[in-house]
């Protein structure tokens, strides 16, 4: 069975060309490792990563907050072009969509991120789902290690990998998953 890797991170806001390229490289590395890419069917850094996977011939599964395609496009104004397929949850942005998204993954990667990404990080952490953090990408990716030490205090034995290089981050996460025999 193929591994399922989710990419979570900053959807809105301005992103540097360098950070968009790193997100794309993460997506490409996921495809090159024959894993299935999961994301929130959104914009920003997760979309850049999704495009990297799709352009490299990989499978991209979007988990939308919308009830259907019409709502996805018209209410949320989210694109479809990077998705191989979309699951419509009808749960909205603050609903259970994040739980479905994260719990469907064998591991997640965090690029930047704010409160929504913090929620996804917390879900993965509590479930023991391995987490990869792209160091230097800002937001949750750079604060998560401190959060884990100060707030969560190692309460769960969740593996966390920190790496600045996108390709190495994916490779280290996949190696960890293979060792855990997912």
pLDDT tens digits, residue range 39-85? 999 999 999 999 999 999 999 999 999 999 999 999 999 999 999 99
> Of 175, 173, 170, 178, whose CA–CA distance to 49 is shortest?
170
8-state DSSP, 181? T
Burial code of 22-46, b = ≥16 C-beta within 10 A, e = fewer?
bbbbbbbbbbbbebbbbbbbbbbbb
pLDDT tens digits, residue range 119-172? 999 999 999 999 999 999 999 999 887 877 776 666 778 899 999 999 999 999
Please, what are the domains in the chain?
4-179 (3.40.50.450)
């Amino acid at each position: 069975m193929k591994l399922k890797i989710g990419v979570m991170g900053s959807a809105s806001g301005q992103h540097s060309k360098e950070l968009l390229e790193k997100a794309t490289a993460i997506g490409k590395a996921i495809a090159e490792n024959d894993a299935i890419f999961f994301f929130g069917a959104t914009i920003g850094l997760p979309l850049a990563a999704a495009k990297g996977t799709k352009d490299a011939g990989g499978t991209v599964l979007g988990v939308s907050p919308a009830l259907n395609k019409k709502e996805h496009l018209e209410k949320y104004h989210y694109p479809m072009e990077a998705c191989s397929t979309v699951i419509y949850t009808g749960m909205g942005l603050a609903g259970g969509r994040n739980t479905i998204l994260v719990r469907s993954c064998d591991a997640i990667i965090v690029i930047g991120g704010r409160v929504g990404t913090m929620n996804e990080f917390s879900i993965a952490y509590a479930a023991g789902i391995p987490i990869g953090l792209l160091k230097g990408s800002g937001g949750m990716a750079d604060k998560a290690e401190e959060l884990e030490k100060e707030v969560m205090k190692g309460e769960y034995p969740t593996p966390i990998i920190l790496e600045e290089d996108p390709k190495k981050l994916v490779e280290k996460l996949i190696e960890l998953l293979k060792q855990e025999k997912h």
